[in-house]
């Protein structure tokens, strides 16, 4: 089943689950050990202002548009735009070679302030270093944190990060869907402020897994991770409008002058129990890496299950594995809760949004029965530290199994910007 995500690109069927939302009752918690050069190395204190979950290389198609993940890069400059959720006096980038089969060699990297598109503001582009040198090598399966760069940033400010490759990289760790394009140029254009050389773009993101800022002792600093499927990833939000749920949560925090970073660790199509060529590693396998290992993490918002319970035999993104029972979904979510508690991290559950009315086959009476059982457990089971009731926020009062049309994208399933904003408004910032 195919459907268009935006006028520019399409994306395959994404999921409704997988959203780590801070429900209005989230309680403060102590930060997990922050990271330094490698994600698992707890040394100097940082938290994360921007981040993304990496996926295995996958060729593009007519639904999600082209990408460069399978071909990789050679004699290219790759420029990517990110929006900080929290500011700081320094920045540090993280590069991932999670699915690489050979060392990733980065010939150079720069960072600067975005001037829109692939442009940078003149006088702001500066080189990045790694262990004191301009080049970097990221081992296969690894992540590397760069050296701290003295660059003062503000909440919601956009930066451009440019990577230079002179040797063939091979297939690239990437994130399949993003409403902010990545840009590519042949040759060395690390320090360009103009965009003339960057004549190619795709709606995907490559190698860049995080941007950290220092924890300088201000009260309430830390990282909130939104973890889940397409509802977290932002499918249905307007292209380039920063209208995803984590974006809108970051805007509320910035307006309230609360120094929390918000990381979007959603992957469209993600499932709790099974890996997927489209939807990434199963949530129970990637939870530690993509949520708990983020620098300074203090809370995780989880929205998952819709891709597990629906029965769409013709969808290649749901292979292998058939529809899950309510008990299987609940048991998988309990694994996430236990993992978070073991790290001293609060975990908030989000109910699965209404599925009935989607323009592709998702809903059946049996699927609704399972969804109701999962949502009842999330609301009443008392196992999450708090709950945000996405189902009731989005439901049509005339038919509670459907989303209200004012809150839904044209696919009849995913929230639009108004729907994401309604969920973000339900989050009690005092609880963070």
Is the pLDDT at 266 greater than 90? The verdict is yes
pLDDT band at 13 (very low <50, low <70, confident <90, very high): very low
Residue 33, pLDDT score: 29
pLDDT band at 431 (very low <50, low <70, confident <90, very high): low
pLDDT band at 29 (very low <50, low <70, confident <90, very high): very low
Q: Are strands 92-96 and 200-202 parallel, antiparallel or unpaired?
A: unpaired
Residue 6, pLDDT score: 35
The share of the chain scoring above pLDDT 70, in percent, equals 89
User: Residue 348: phi, psi to the nearest 5?
Assistant: -115, 130
Is the pLDDT at 259 greater than 90? The verdict is yes
Mean pLDDT of 206-212: 98
Helix (H, G, I), strand (E, B) or coil at 391: helix
Which is it for the CA torsion 417, 384, 52, 297, positive or negative? positive
Is the pLDDT at 268 greater than 70? The verdict is yes
Count Cβ neighbours within 10 Å for each residue of 135-173 and write b for 16 or more, e otherwise.
Answer: ebebeeebbbbbebbebebebbbbbbbbbbbbeebbbbb
Q: Enter the tokens of residue 320.
A: 């292998």
286-296 pLDDT tens trace: 999 999 999 99
178-204 pLDDT tens trace: 989 999 999 999 999 999 999 999 999
| Mean pLDDT of the chain, nearest integer | 89
CA angle 15/21/26 to nearest 5° reads 155
Predicted TM-score (pTM) of this structure: 0.89
Mean pLDDT of 199-214: 97
No. of helices (H) and no. of strands (E), the chain = 8, 21
Report the C-alpha gap between 79 and 84 in whole angstroms.
16
Q: In this structure, how many other beta carbons lie within 10 angstroms of the beta carbon of residue 196?
A: 10
Q: Are strands 297-303 and 222-228 parallel, antiparallel or unpaired?
A: parallel
Residue scoring higher pLDDT (30 or 398): 398
CA angle 276/93/87 to nearest 5° reads 110
The share of the chain scoring above pLDDT 90, in percent, equals 81
C-alpha 297: how far from its chain's center?
A: 15
Residue scoring higher pLDDT (431 or 381): 381
DSSP state of 425: H
Is the pLDDT at 21 greater than 60? The verdict is no
Distances (CA, A) of 380 to 57, 285, 306: 39, 26, 19
Is the pLDDT at 342 greater than 50? The verdict is yes
Residue 432, pLDDT score: 67
Mean pLDDT of 228-239: 96
42-54 pLDDT tens trace: 335 999 999 999 9
Residue 182, pLDDT score: 97
Say if CB 110 and CB 127 are below 8 A apart. yes
Mean pLDDT of 97-125: 98
Report the C-alpha gap between 74 and 168 in whole angstroms.
4
H-type alpha helices, 225-364: 230-233, 245-255, 283-287, 306-309, 326-342
Report the C-alpha gap between 152 and 22 in whole angstroms.
28
Residue 375, pLDDT score: 98
Report the C-alpha gap between 268 and 258 in whole angstroms.
28
Q: Using CB atoms within 10 Å of the CB of residue 90, give its burial: 0 to 12 exposed, 13 to 18 middle, 19+ buried.
A: middle
Is the pLDDT at 62 greater than 80? The verdict is no
* Residues 6+ positions from 324 with CB-CB distance below 8 Å: 272, 273, 305, 308, 309, 332, 370
Say if CB 281 and CB 33 are below 8 A apart. no
Cis-peptide, bond into residue 320, ω within 30° of zero: yes
């Amino acid at each position: 089943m195919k459907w268009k995500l935006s006028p520019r690109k399409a994306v395959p069927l994404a999921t409704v689950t997988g959203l780590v939302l801070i429900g209005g009752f989230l309680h403060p918690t102590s930060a997990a050990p922050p990271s330094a050069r490698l994600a698992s190395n707890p040394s100097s204190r940082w938290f994360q202002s921007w981040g993304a979950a990496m996926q295995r290389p996958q060729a593009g198609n007519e639904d999600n548009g082209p990408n460069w993940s399978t071909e990789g890069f050679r004699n290219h400059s790759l420029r990517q735009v990110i929006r900080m959720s929290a500011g700081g006096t320094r920045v540090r980038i993280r590069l991932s070679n999670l699915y690489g089969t050979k060392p990733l060699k980065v010939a150079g990297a720069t960072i600067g302030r975005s001037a829109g598109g692939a442009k940078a503001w003149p006088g702001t582009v500066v080189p990045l270093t790694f262990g004191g040198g301009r080049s970097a090598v990221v081992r296969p399966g690894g992540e590397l944190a760069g050296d701290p760069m003295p660059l003062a940033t503000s909440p919601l400010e956009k930066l451009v990060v440019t990577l230079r490759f002179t040797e063939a990289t091979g297939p690239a760790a990437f994130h399949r869907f993003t409403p902010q394009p990545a840009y590519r140029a042949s040759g060395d254009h690390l320090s360009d402020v103009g965009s003339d050389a960057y004549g190619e773009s795709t709606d995907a993101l490559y190698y860049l897994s995080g941007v950290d800022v220092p924890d300088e002792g201000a009260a309430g600093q830390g990282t909130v991770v939104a973890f889940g499927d397409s509802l977290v990833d932002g499918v249905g939000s307007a292209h380039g409008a920063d209208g995803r749920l984590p974006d809108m949560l970051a805007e509320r925090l910035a307006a309230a002058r609360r120094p929390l970073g918000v990381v979007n660790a959603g992957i469209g199509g993600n499932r709790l129990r099974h890996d997927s060529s489209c939807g990434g590693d199963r949530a129970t396998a990637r939870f530690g890496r993509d949520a708990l290992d983020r620098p300074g993490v203090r809370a995780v918002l989880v929205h998952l299950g819709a891709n597990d319970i629906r029965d769409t035999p013709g969808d290649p993104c749901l292979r292998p594995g058939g529809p899950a029972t309510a008990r299987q979904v609940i048991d998988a979510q309990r694994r996430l809760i236990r993992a978070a508690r073991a790290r001293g991290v609060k975990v908030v559950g989000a109910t699965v949004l209404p599925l009935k009315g989607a323009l592709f086959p998702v809903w059946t009476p049996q699927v609704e029965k399972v969804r109701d059982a999962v949502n009842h457990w999330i609301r009443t089971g008392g196992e999450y530290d708090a709950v945000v009731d996405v189902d009731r926020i989005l439901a049509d009062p005339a038919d509670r199994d459907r989303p209200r049309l004012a809150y839904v994208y044209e696919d009849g399933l995913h929230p639009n910007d108004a729907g994401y904003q309604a969920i973000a408004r339900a989050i009690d910032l005092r609880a963070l």
